[in-house]
């Protein structure tokens, strides 16, 4: 699918941003107006255009709140948060030294926090104890009664933000009476920015303290805890579920078996061999050519250098190697739903591979282009995706 741009990376990110309209993260006219200001593949123009929309909405939200218009303020803050995230997306040249990237990311978090204070249901910002530090989280409560409810523990993947998780999954869960405990772990956005923690493959050590916190709360039903991982998070959640026996169900959105194979598909086979063999003297210049030719490859490797703490693109690629489900998937015991997308060429075959490796109660849902849900993680089709997933969860948890 091409959405507003010919460049595949720009097209997908525009669709991702627009798709968050289902839960208040965008307005289609604003998306169209912003994209009209951006030449295809121009990363600087991308950041400028989305920043302008986000700043305007931030001002509108402040004015609405000052005037006592809480609903208008909440809606504007939510859209501003998503647009700030979008403005920052391609700013991966040198994130450590990019002050504007830090400003945009901070504004995305801040505007969402302001919106959260205006939600009609309780939203609790949390710092969950993790090793010698904490992980940022939000607990979205379906109501304020304190009654135990099924609870979704949700984390993102390679590049999603804590705030964006509400648009991806949280909004749909709340409408169906689920509590949502959304969090960021090592390697992910604010944890990487503020604490310097990079990704780790043994994700069960990240999820365990979050489960501990959930089960310490009287408003969480301990028998109906769901682990939900999005994109790269689908692999991470599967890894955690294999070592976590307190989960009633797991949703892999989408299913990924081997994260190292995904970027290797986007570069010539000989180049992948050079990287794997550590021949960086020849792999480095060749990767530079691939990065110059493809926005997607350039973004993936530059972001990977930051998220994995790698010094070169080749190191970032090799850092993906430990992330797979070898000798792991067969140990998942809870009911597991694996999601796939017809047009997801980068992850082609991965969901089926995960499903085949599972030995638990399992299902595989493949979303199609004909229903408008064929892109990676069903971007642009949030309502259809959430309908199928939460209907499945309702049935597994006895809520149908």
Q: Is residue 47 among the annotated active site residues? A: no
Distance CA 75, CA 57 (A): 9
User: CA 324 → CA 201, 237, 336, 350, 388, distances in Å?
Assistant: 8, 11, 17, 11, 26
Tell me the CATH class for 8-115: mainly alpha
Strands (E), 94-248: 123-130, 133-140, 149-155, 179-183, 220-230
Q: What percent of the chain has pLDDT over 90?
A: 97
pLDDT at 1: 81
DSSP 322: T
pLDDT at 346: 81
Q: CB of 68 within 8 A of CB of 13?
A: no
pLDDT at 261: 93
Pairing of strands 179-183, 249-253: unpaired
Ranges of H-type helices in 89-116: 99-116
Question: What tokens does 270 get?
Answer: 């000989």
Enter the CATH code of domain 121-259+323-396: 3.40.50.1820
Interhelix angle 295-308/8-19, rounded to 10 degrees, is: 70
Total count of residues recorded for the chain: 400
Domain residue spans in the chain? 8-115, 121-259+323-396, 261-319
**Structure confidence by residue, pLDDT tens digits, 183-226:** 999 999 999 999 999 999 999 999 999 999 999 999 999 999 99
**Structure confidence by residue, pLDDT tens digits, 85-98:** 999 999 999 999 99
**Structure confidence by residue, pLDDT tens digits, 277-314:** 999 999 999 999 999 999 999 999 999 999 999 999 99
pLDDT at 345: 82
Catalytic entry in 81, 147, 231, 290: 231
Distance CA 18, CA 32 (A): 9
**Structure confidence by residue, pLDDT tens digits, 44-90:** 999 999 999 999 999 999 999 999 999 999 999 999 999 999 999 99
Quick check: 374 pLDDT over 80? yes
């Amino acid at each position: 699918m091409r959405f507003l741009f010919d460049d595949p990376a720009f097209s997908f990110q525009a669709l991702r941003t627009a798709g968050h309209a289902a839960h208040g993260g965008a307005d289609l006219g604003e998306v169209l107006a912003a994209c009209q200001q951006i030449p295809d593949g121009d990363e600087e123009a991308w950041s400028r255009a989305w920043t302008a929309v986000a700043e305007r909405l931030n001002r509108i939200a402040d004015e609405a709140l000052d005037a006592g218009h809480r609903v208008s303020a909440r809606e504007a803050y939510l859209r501003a948060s998503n647009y700030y995230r979008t403005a920052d997306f391609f700013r991966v040249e040198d994130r450590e030294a990019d002050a504007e990237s830090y400003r945009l990311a901070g504004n995305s978090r801040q505007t969402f926090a302001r919106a959260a204070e205006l939600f009609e249901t309780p939203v609790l910002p949390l710092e969950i104890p993790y090793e010698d530090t904490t992980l940022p989280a939000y607990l979205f409560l379906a109501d304020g009664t304190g009654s135990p409810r099924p609870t979704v523990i949700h984390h993102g993947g390679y590049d999603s933000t804590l705030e964006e998780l509400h648009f991806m999954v949280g909004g749909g869960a709340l409408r169906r009476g689920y509590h949502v405990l959304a969090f960021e772990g090592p390697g992910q956005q604010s944890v990487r920015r503020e604490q310097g923690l990079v990704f780790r493959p043994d994700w069960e050590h990240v999820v365990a303290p979050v489960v501990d916190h959930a089960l310490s709360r009287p408003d969480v039903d301990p028998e109906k805890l769901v682990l939900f991982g999005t994109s790269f998070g689908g692999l991470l959640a599967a890894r955690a579920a294999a070592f976590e026996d307190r989960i009633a169900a797991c949703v892999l959105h989408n299913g990924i078996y081997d994260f190292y194979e995904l970027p290797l598909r986007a570069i010539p086979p000989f180049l992948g061999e050079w990287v794997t063999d550590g021949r960086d003297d020849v792999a480095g210049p060749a990767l530079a050519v691939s990065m110059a030719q493809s926005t997607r490859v350039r973004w993936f490797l530059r972001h990977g250098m930051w998220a994995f703490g790698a010094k070169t693109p080749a190191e970032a690629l090799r850092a993906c190697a430990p992330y797979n489900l070898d000798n792991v998937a067969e140990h998942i015991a809870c009911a597991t739903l694996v999601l796939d997308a017809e047009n997801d060429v980068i992850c082609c075959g991965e969901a089926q591979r995960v499903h085949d490796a599972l030995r638990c109660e399992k299902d595989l849902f493949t979303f199609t282009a004909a229903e408008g849900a064929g892109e990676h993680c069903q971007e642009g089709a949030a309502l259809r995706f959430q309908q199928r997933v939460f209907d499945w969860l309702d049935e597994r948890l006895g809520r149908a």
